[in-house]
Structure formats: C-alpha cells, structure tokens
Structure 1
Amino acid sequence: MNFPWAPAPGHARPIVWSIAGNDSAGGAGLSADQRAAQAFGVHLCPVVAAVTAQSSTGVTRIDAVSSKTLDAQLHALAADMPPAVIKTGLLASAAHVLTVARCVEKLRQRAPVALVVDPVLRSSTGASFAADDVLDAYVRELLPRATLTTPNEAEARRLVAALDPSVGATTAPALARRLRATGVQALAVTGGDSTGQGAHAMDWLDTQHASGWLSLPRIDTRHTHGTGCTFATSAAAALALGFVPADALVLAKMATAQALRHGYAAGQGAGPVASVGGFATDSSLMPMLTWGARFEIDSDSPTHPGRAAADIGLYAIVDSVERVAQVVAAGVRTVQLRIKTPDAPDVAWHAALRESMVQSLAACAAAGATLVVNDHWQLAAELAPTHPGTLAVHLGQEDLLALGDAGRAALAATRLPLGISSHSLWELARACALKPWYVACGPVWPTLTKAMPWVPQGLDNLAWWVHMAGVPVVAIGGILDLDQATQAARSGASGVCVVRGLGDLPTRTVPAWQAAIQAGRAAAPLPVPAFPHPSLNA
C-alpha cells in the first residue's frame, strides 16, 4: 500500500513505541499493536513489559519483566529510535508505571512526545492485571502526562474510584470529565464491549476540540480479541502522523471496525481482530459524531427539493441583495447571502436584514435559483413558506454547537435544507450526523477571507471528503482562478464556492467559471488518497 507520507529512501517512518504485554496466543497485546501499526504505515517498537501465558480461552500466568529490563529496553531505543508517540498497554506493576513516567519526562526534554495510555486492567476473559497500587500509580503518575487515554467503561470506573471512592460517576461523559481533571489532554471511553448500546458501538470522546458519541453500526462477531489494543495503537499511529486527538480517534474508530470485520477463529475461544489497510477509504466505516451527550442521529433530514443534489455547480457567496441580483442574472443558480451580525444589532439592522432577504429571495425565485442564507435560519424559516423550494441555510459548526440540543431540534423542524462547514475529520463526522444537504470542505487553498487555524485541505483532502462524506460536498476557500475551479470539480465536488473571483461584472466572469467547472467534470477524476492529511497542526 502506498501512503502519502511514505518515506524517501533512507528515511524512517514515524516511530511509535508500544510498552505492553506479549500474548502467547497472538491475539492481543504487542501482537495486535504490531498489526495496527502496519495498517497505518508507521514503525512500531514492541517493548515487552510482561509475558503472559494465555490462549483464546483465558490467561493462566502473567510475569512482569523486571524494572531494570524494562528500563534497558527504553534506554536502548531512546538514542537511536526516539518515538513520536509512546503507547502503553499492560503495565503489571507500579514500578513499571513509574519507569514509563520517568522515561516520558526525559524524552520530552529533547522533543515533543505524545503519550497514549491504554489502561489494561483486566483481560477480556476476566483476568485482573492491576492491583490497587498500580491503579494509584496510573492516576497519580501516568494520566497527568498523557496526551490521550482509552479506557473502556469498566476501566474508567476503576480509575475514577482510585482517584476518589466517593465519586459516583456512572455515565461515560461523567467518567470522562473526572478523568480529564487529572490532566490528561484527551480521552475516549470506549463502549464497543457494552451491552446497552443496541445497534451502535459508541465511544465517548472528550477532547480539546470535540466531545460527543463516536458511533458506527455494531459488528456482529465473536472474534474481538485485541480490540482495545487495536483502538489505542491506531490512535497512537494517527497521532504519530500529525493528527490531533479528535481526528486520531476518528481514524482509530475506522481502523478498529475494519479489524473487527476481518477477525477470524484461532482456537476454541474468541479469535483475534485483524488490522488491515484500506479502512481509510471505505466510506461505510466513516463514523458519526454526536453534537452532545444525547445520542441522536438524524436519519430523516430533507433532501433539497426541486434540485439535483449532485449538481450545485458554481456556488456564489455574496454580502448584499445587489450582488444576489447580479449573480443570478448572470446565471448562477446557487447563491449564499452572507450578512454578518454586528456586535450590537438594533431594530433598524434587523429590519434591513429582513428586507435584504425578502428581495434576495424574490430575485432567486424569479431566476430559478436557490438562496442559501448564512446563519440567520430563524428568519429564513419565517420567509420560506412564501417561496417553497427556493431557500436553504448554511451554518458553521460553532454556530450549530451554540444552538444546543433544543436549538438544533428547532432547526431540523424547519425542514430547511442545511449546509454545514467542515475542516477536519471530527467536523466531517459531526456534520454527517445531521444528514445535511451538503458539507463544505475547506479551506481547499489558503484564504484571506477570514482568519482560520486550519491547514489548507488541498485537492487530496477534497477528493477524500467527496469519497467519504456520503452527502454532496462543496469546495470552499482560496478559489481565485479558473484552473482551481476545474481541479476542484475533478475531485467530484458537487459545488465550487467563489467569493472574490466573481469580480465587479458577474455577467462576464460567471460563464467562464461555469465552463471551468464543466471542464473539470469532463476530465479524469482525481485519485482518492489512501489517507487524508492533517488539517490542524498538532
């Protein structure tokens, strides 16, 4: 498999250390970690912390290596193969936890090192791996240094109890909040092994950038040995490739689901999951992320009436009713009216906004165009009955978050077609949960229209978005010349957003933009990359 980060000859792949136990049955521990790392194209250094005697039916013996042996392995690697990420699995003694914590501190004096803690406290067959002193060492020494931790619900409860036995946190979000208070930067309470989730396997994410339930349909298989190891190592590999934790967890969810699909029998008990490549281009593995703690996936959102969803075409973004009239007269059939709310809007401003929307709606209706209203969805809903099928709304993700559960429910009740901005994997997963009319992917190229922290998506990520989203995708950001429009159309994008490039005389520029888009659609499609690239600097 070719990866976009494939190293040049003589250069190393990103390095991940896995400090974990050896599973004599080859299902979990370092065996699962090695398979997961291979699926991501990173190099994994297997550091043995414990030797287990186990089969597919149970664990019969656990022997922790000496702290000196563990430290020697870490010391041998440090100078020659320093890690981008360290992932921990089975640490069978408090001394091991302290050894890892000291190692992380020393490495971080030289360069940034991410730490992923998979607190393996009990095997899937029921064997306990952690005494009270180990739990205490986890919460006092390792979690405060962790970039990400991935306990299942039972492990999260044990860790919270070790912090404070009086804390009665029972839900995954409450457990995550308590564990984040230790200093861990991001957390996923995995729930694939929980029995109360019905048709969905859900993990609760609590990160700097996003929180919510990350969900995929549950995979009906008994071959689940090594699932937790696979998830944690996949997340570590994604971090090593430069993804922030929220995005890394989306990729880990996809990789783990793929591994479950490829699980197989080996022995009389549950067989191992089998990590394989190709998960990042399988659109059926694209998870959904809820907007809050309530698990609700919108499966009945409206499609856009009277329009072919895959033919948004030239998508003009303007800031006045005069410009709306100009661009629809020039032949644009999808136009967004973007009028930002001032810091202190007064009655006169609201009246002027309403009049602008009324006139814009009339111009679009007369031309057979769609008016997309940015932000002001309540007013759009009020005006929609006068021109059915002509009006849609577009909201950014921060605006949708600010609405809360009740506000998003009210928006959905309007039945207005919805466009949503997205800039990252977690934003794409969250947008898809609302089943929108389209998702905007941007910025494709650098843009000065507004300040953004995002790395440009480029044509590679745009093609990936189109392939994976499951809804129409429009390209936005930095599209200033006709060749860019052609290339964006080659990605398969349903629409190409143009702002400044329309110029003062749209009657002259619009036909050229439309011809460029048609040329792109007629040309050979752009390839879909094996992986997206990070769109936010870690």
Structure 2
Amino acid sequence: MTSSPPIVWSIAGLDTAGGAGLSADQRAADALGVHLCPVAAALTAQHSQGVAAVWPVPPDPLQAQLQALAEDMPPSVIKTGLLGSVAAVRLVAQCVDHFRASTPPGQDPHRQLALVVDPVLGASAGGAAFADDDVRQAYRQWLLPRATVLTPNRAEARLLLQQAGGHGGPRDTLPALAAALRTLGARSVVITGGDAPDEVPSPHGQAWCLDWLDTPQAQGWLCAPRLDAPHHHGSGCTFASGVAGAWALGHADADAIVLAHMLTRQALAQGHAAGRGAGPVQARAGFAAGPARGGAPLPWLGLGTDLPWQLSLGTPSASDNPAPPGTPRTPPLFAPFTPPTDGLYGILPDHALLQSALAAGLRCVQLRHKHPASLQALQAQLDASLADAAQAGAQLFVNDHWRAALTLPPRMATEAGFRLGVHLGQEDLQALSPDDRARLLAERDRIMLGLSSHSLWELARAAGCGASLIACGPVQATTTKDMPWQPQGEDNLRWWLAHSPAPVVAIGGLLTPADVRRFAACQPAAVCVVRGLGLNAAAMQAAVPALRSAVKLGRSEIGTTQVHDPDLPHPVL
C-alpha cells in the first residue's frame, strides 16, 4: 500500500487561458507527485495576449473554501498566487496562524505549515491591474512576516519594497533587495531572473538566467543557460509551486529552490503554443531525472556574491547535452581528477598511516590532519606525505591545510603519476578570504580541487566552482563527524552521479567490504574509506585487498539488478 502524497493548497487565480495560476500550479504539483488543492482567490478573463479583467473572490466564498479543506485535508504547505484583495491576503494570514498554532513547543512553525508566497502583482502579458497600493501594503503587513519562501521577480521585489525600477537595474543590487525582504519577515527569498535582461559577462557568449538565492542554508547566484523559449506563460507560478511541492516532500528551503529551478527550466523547454501570444509552460514528471534521461541540468550556485567560477572563468557549457550518468559534461576549471583503477580513495589522519596506505597499494589518498601540535609539525607531516606520494606516483589530496600544501617543490610535480589536490568542506570553501580565492584560482591548472557536498545546493555550488571531483556523503550514517545530514543511500548517490559535471566519490560510513561493495555497485568514481582501512600498518595490509575485491564485485553488478536511477532525490536535512 502506497502512502498518501503530501497536501499543498494553492490559493491563487483562475486563468481562463489555462496557462498560469491554478492551471500551472496543478501541472507543477503533478510533476512532483504532491496532491494539490486549488482554491480560487480570483477569477480572470484573459487569453494568451493579456488580461481583460480580474474579479477577486469575495471573502465569504473564499473562507468557505478554506474551511471545507481544513476540516478534511489540512496542508503541509500553502502556496499563494494572485490574491487580488486585501481581504484575501488577511484570510490567508489567518489560515496560516490557525495551523501554526498547533506547533509543538520547541518545533519549527514553518515545518508545521510552510507558506510559499508568489507575489503576483501584475501580468507579464499586460492588461488589467492585479494589485493596488493597498494590496501591496497588505502583503508587507500580513504575508511577508509569515512567509517561508518568497519568490518575486525583480520588478515584484522592488514593488514590495516601494521602489521603482522594474526588471532592470544593476545585478549587484539584488542581494540588498533580498536582505531587505527578509528583514520584513520572509525566512527565505529567491529573486528570479527569467524576466530580466541578459547581463552576464560570460567568456563564452552564452546568455544566462540568474536567480538570487537568500536562505538560512545558502546564499548566492543560482545560474543556468538561458532558454530561448517563446512559450513562457505560467513560469512564475510553476516556480513557486515547485518550491511548495519540494518543500512538502521534506526538502529544505535552498534544496526546494534548486528543484523548482530545474522544474521550471524543463517546463519552459516543453511549452507549447495556445493562442496568438506566449503559450503555457508544461511541467512534467521526470524533470529532475538527469540530462541523459531527458531531465533538466543541475544549475550552478555561486560563492558569496560572485558568479560561479565556472561561469566567469570556465569553458563553454555543454550541460544541456545528454551524457551518460557520471560522466563530465563540462571540463573542470581545476586540474582533472583521474579515478583510481581500484576504485579506492583512502582518507588518513596522519603521515604514518598515509605511508602505510601507500605501502598497501593505494594510489588515491587524502591527508586529513585535523589537529597538528604546531605549524612546524604540520609542515613536517605535509612535506613527508608529499614526498612519499610523489615517490609512489599517487594522487594526494590535502584536507584543510591547503595553503601549506601549495609549497610543493616544483620537482615533485614532475614525478610520474603524482598529482596534488586540495579538498575542502563547504564551510571551508565559504570561509575563504578574497586573497585565498585568488590564490586557489591562480593554481587551478596544476592542482585538483575536491569539494564535499551533502545537499542539492552544495552539489550546485561544487559544480559552479568547477571542482575536479565532488564527494557525495554521508552515504551511510557515520560517527566520524557530528553532522545534521540524513544518509544519502544508493538512491541519492545515483542522483548525484546523474547530475554532477565532475567525477563523484562516495563517502561516509563505509566500514566493511560489504558496505564498499554496496555503494561501488552505484558506479561512483571511487569509494572513500576512513576507519575501514584499519588503525595500523598490519591492519591496512589485511584490509586493502578485501576492500579492493569488494569494489570489483560491486562494479561488476551493473545491469544485473532492476534498480533505476531516481527521478527525485530524497531530502537530506
């Protein structure tokens, strides 16, 4: 027996052309597999070329709709679209307060009931007005303080802040706009850029769509190549409903926004003509199945207020071209990673165990030396590890202490097979100073960059940085680190492989040969083993052959089971 899908209410307008409003919301909900309850807040007379008239639904029939649903089908998310009146805005706010009043003590009221606000203040095709000054003030007073995610385009963001400017204006003003909207109460804000003019100084001539993301989990430019899509009616509704649906499935704000971005992009690609104007977008299931299976590409997320390094410094994107899962679709910005032939990536806490791992035959290793006694001791460990890895012709990644690792003597770089890499967690990546970023990027031709990722937005940021490899984890529960993340499992690991532009390694909780075999069957570039290698040289000599055999057995199982790559990842936070 299958479980019931989560319930989302959409309180929005009825588009007689079937493109935007409740029609688009329904298609987006179906694509995500959530149950949508359409609540009519406004009736419109419109077609593909504009809106002739708008009639807000009076308070009594609107309240009756909400009350009937509340008695039998309470929502996990309420999404708003065209509301059309101050009375409708206040009714929505009262409804949100009603459901959030039952939040258990100490729990997040947004998780009790999320509110996704698409501030529909005008029609892109033009025509009758959707909102006057009183309605906009009601949004500021009643909805923004309760909003879980606010999804305005640039013109709507400025109207909510009582500013002029429309869709134009400098791109670098958007972070301040989003911050101001969060100050008014919205927990997360994404200012969409599909309606904005192209303004990216891309080195390869591609036009890009830029959304500014500001959430408790992540901030930055969410970017994808712009589609030349003549049929775009309902794209804003689709995006907001995508956020609502992904949130209802359990995804955190930033991950829900990434999925909504992919949903909308695919819906734009599948739009069709209906009437003489712009036709409707068509959201459909499978939008996140990966480019090789006809899905949308993963967007790139920038670091801070910078555009993604891969966009500003990289090579032309081929991310729209299907490729087999797990194969790079964009050349990395940093030196390329060569997956080890035995599929093992050993992570060691000090030089002595790293030396033992090399002696046991590992040729892809990482030095994760967290607590050096002193800077002198750290440098001594690094120098010895670099020398041993160079002599063995291994790939060596240095975790955390990358500045000291860049003191590599030039002669070591000529050793046959030896490659130097830096591995950073996302917290370390975000903590880089401007000088650190400049230094790291200046070395990109000679060093590999490995980045950890635990969520969709971290995967998008790692891709945007042009990483040589991306670690997906924890694939199993681990006690090595105290982390808030849910295990990725085989399903999310396969989703990472289908979307990552760089080789993916699996990490976290891989203690036994059985663990290694299980995840090697997903065909990552390598599996990372920490404690499973043993705590001394003798244990390592015994462990490595068994682990190597487990990788070989796992890799041989491709195509022997009926496991399919997932269309959607499961929530991780």
What TM bracket, shorter-length normalisation? over 0.9
> Is 228-237 or 514-523 further displaced after alignment?
514-523
Aligned: 1:394 with 2:423:
yes
In the aligned structure 1, how far is the partner of 2:405 from the partner of 2:443? 9
User: Which of 438, 442, 453 lines up with 1:413 in the alignment?
Assistant: 442
- Could you say what secondary structure the match of 2:278 adopts? coil
User: Which of 457, 471, 474 lines up with 1:443 in the alignment?
Assistant: 474
TM-aligned CA deviation for residue 341 of structure 1: 4.6
TM-aligned CA deviation for residue 409 of structure 1: 2.8
TM-aligned CA deviation for residue 384 of structure 1: 5.3
User: In the alignment, what sits opposite 1:514?
Assistant: 548
- What's the CA shift string for 1:97-120, capped at 9, x where partnerless? 001000110111235110000000
TM-aligned CA deviation for residue 459 of structure 1: 1.2
Matching residue's letter, 1:391? L
- Could you say what secondary structure the match of 1:360 adopts? helix
- What's the CA shift string for 1:189-218, capped at 9, x where partnerless? 011110133511111000000000111100
TM-aligned CA deviation for residue 243 of structure 1: 0.3
User: In the alignment, what sits opposite 1:3?
Assistant: none
TM-aligned CA deviation for residue 308 of structure 1: 2.9
In the aligned structure 1, how far is the partner of 2:290 from the partner of 2:493? 16
In the aligned structure 2, how far is the partner of 1:340 from the partner of 1:132? 57
Is the alpha carbon distance of 1:62 and 1:529 closer, same or farther for their aligned partners in structure 2, counting shifts above 3 Å?
same
> Is 80-89 or 102-111 further displaced after alignment?
102-111
In the aligned structure 1, how far is the partner of 2:308 from the partner of 2:77? 34
User: In the alignment, what sits opposite 1:227?
Assistant: 235
TM-aligned CA deviation for residue 71 of structure 1: 0.6
In the aligned structure 2, how far is the partner of 1:309 from the partner of 1:129? 56
Aligned positions, number: 518
Matching residue's letter, 2:471? A
User: Which of 302, 320, 334 lines up with 2:364 in the alignment?
Assistant: 334
User: In the alignment, what sits opposite 2:27?
Assistant: 35
TM-aligned CA deviation for residue 140 of structure 1: 0.8
TM-aligned CA deviation for residue 172 of structure 1: 1.3
User: Which of 243, 248, 255 lines up with 2:263 in the alignment?
Assistant: 255
User: In the alignment, what sits opposite 2:304?
Assistant: 292
User: In the alignment, what sits opposite 2:323?
Assistant: none
Q: Is the 8 A contact 2:308 2:465 kept in 1?
A: no
Matching residue's letter, 2:552? Q
User: In the alignment, what sits opposite 2:558?
Assistant: 524
User: Which consecutive residues of structure 2, in runs of 5 or more, have no partner in the other structure?
Assistant: 104-111, 201-206, 316-331
Task: Write out aligned runs for 1:389-538 (5 A).
Answer: 389-415=418-444, 416-503=447-534, 504=536, 505-524=539-558, 526-536=563-573
In the aligned structure 1, how far is the partner of 2:371 from the partner of 2:153? 44
- What's the CA shift string for 1:140-197, capped at 9, x where partnerless? 110100100100000000001179xxxx998211110000001111010011110133
User: In the alignment, what sits opposite 1:5?
Assistant: none
> Is 358-367 or 72-81 further displaced after alignment?
358-367
- Could you say what secondary structure the match of 2:407 adopts? helix
Matching residue's letter, 1:359? A
TM-score, reference length from structure 2: 0.88
TM-aligned CA deviation for residue 28 of structure 1: 0.3
TM-score, reference length from structure 1: 0.93
TM-aligned CA deviation for residue 282 of structure 1: 2.0
Matching residue's letter, 1:195? P
User: In the alignment, what sits opposite 2:123?
Assistant: 123
Is the alpha carbon distance of 1:146 and 1:242 closer, same or farther for their aligned partners in structure 2, counting shifts above 3 Å?
same
User: In the alignment, what sits opposite 2:199?
Assistant: 197
Matching residue's letter, 1:467? A
In the aligned structure 1, how far is the partner of 2:404 from the partner of 2:33? 50
Is the alpha carbon distance of 1:440 and 1:60 closer, same or farther for their aligned partners in structure 2, counting shifts above 3 Å?
same
Q: Is the 8 A contact 2:342 2:551 kept in 1?
A: no
Matching residue's letter, 1:374? N
- What's the CA shift string for 1:241-300, capped at 9, x where partnerless? 000110000000000000000001000000110101111112452110001112243225
User: Which of 320, 335, 338 lines up with 2:350 in the alignment?
Assistant: 320
Quick one: percent identity of the two aligned structures? 52
Aligned: 1:64 with 2:56:
yes
TM-aligned CA deviation for residue 304 of structure 1: 4.4
Matching residue's letter, 2:526? G
In the aligned structure 2, how far is the partner of 1:297 from the partner of 1:507? 41
In the aligned structure 1, how far is the partner of 2:333 from the partner of 2:387? 23
> Is 391-400 or 290-299 further displaced after alignment?
290-299
User: In the alignment, what sits opposite 2:91?
Assistant: 99
- What's the CA shift string for 1:439-462, capped at 9, x where partnerless? 001111111111001111111111
User: In the alignment, what sits opposite 1:357?
Assistant: 382
User: In the alignment, what sits opposite 1:87?
Assistant: 79
Is the alpha carbon distance of 1:177 and 1:138 closer, same or farther for their aligned partners in structure 2, counting shifts above 3 Å?
same
TM-aligned CA deviation for residue 406 of structure 1: 4.0
Matching residue's letter, 2:346? A
In the aligned structure 2, how far is the partner of 1:116 from the partner of 1:312? 47
User: Which consecutive residues of structure 1, in runs of 5 or more, have no partner in the other structure?
Assistant: 1-7
> Is 140-149 or 382-391 further displaced after alignment?
382-391
Q: Is the 8 A contact 2:421 2:448 kept in 1?
A: yes
> Is 499-508 or 427-436 further displaced after alignment?
499-508
Q: Is the 8 A contact 1:14 1:83 kept in 2?
A: yes
Q: Is the 8 A contact 1:23 1:51 kept in 2?
A: yes
In the aligned structure 1, how far is the partner of 2:126 from the partner of 2:148? 28
In the aligned structure 2, how far is the partner of 1:312 from the partner of 1:148? 45
Matching residue's letter, 1:452? M
User: In the alignment, what sits opposite 1:273?
Assistant: 281
In the aligned structure 1, how far is the partner of 2:82 from the partner of 2:570? 31
User: Which of 7, 14, 19 lines up with 2:11 in the alignment?
Assistant: 19
Task: Write out aligned runs for 1:176-191 (5 A).
Answer: 176-191=178-193
In the aligned structure 1, how far is the partner of 2:181 from the partner of 2:333? 39
Is the alpha carbon distance of 1:384 and 1:99 closer, same or farther for their aligned partners in structure 2, counting shifts above 3 Å?
farther
Aligned: 1:73 with 2:65:
yes
Over the aligned positions, Cα root-mean-square deviation in angstroms equals 1.8
Aligned: 1:369 with 2:389:
no
In the aligned structure 2, how far is the partner of 1:374 from the partner of 1:35? 45
In the aligned structure 2, how far is the partner of 1:506 from the partner of 1:222? 60
TM-aligned CA deviation for residue 312 of structure 1: 7.2
In the aligned structure 2, how far is the partner of 1:105 from the partner of 1:531? 31
Matching residue's letter, 1:197? E
User: In the alignment, what sits opposite 2:162?
Assistant: 161
Is the alpha carbon distance of 1:288 and 1:296 closer, same or farther for their aligned partners in structure 2, counting shifts above 3 Å?
closer
TM-aligned CA deviation for residue 31 of structure 1: 0.4
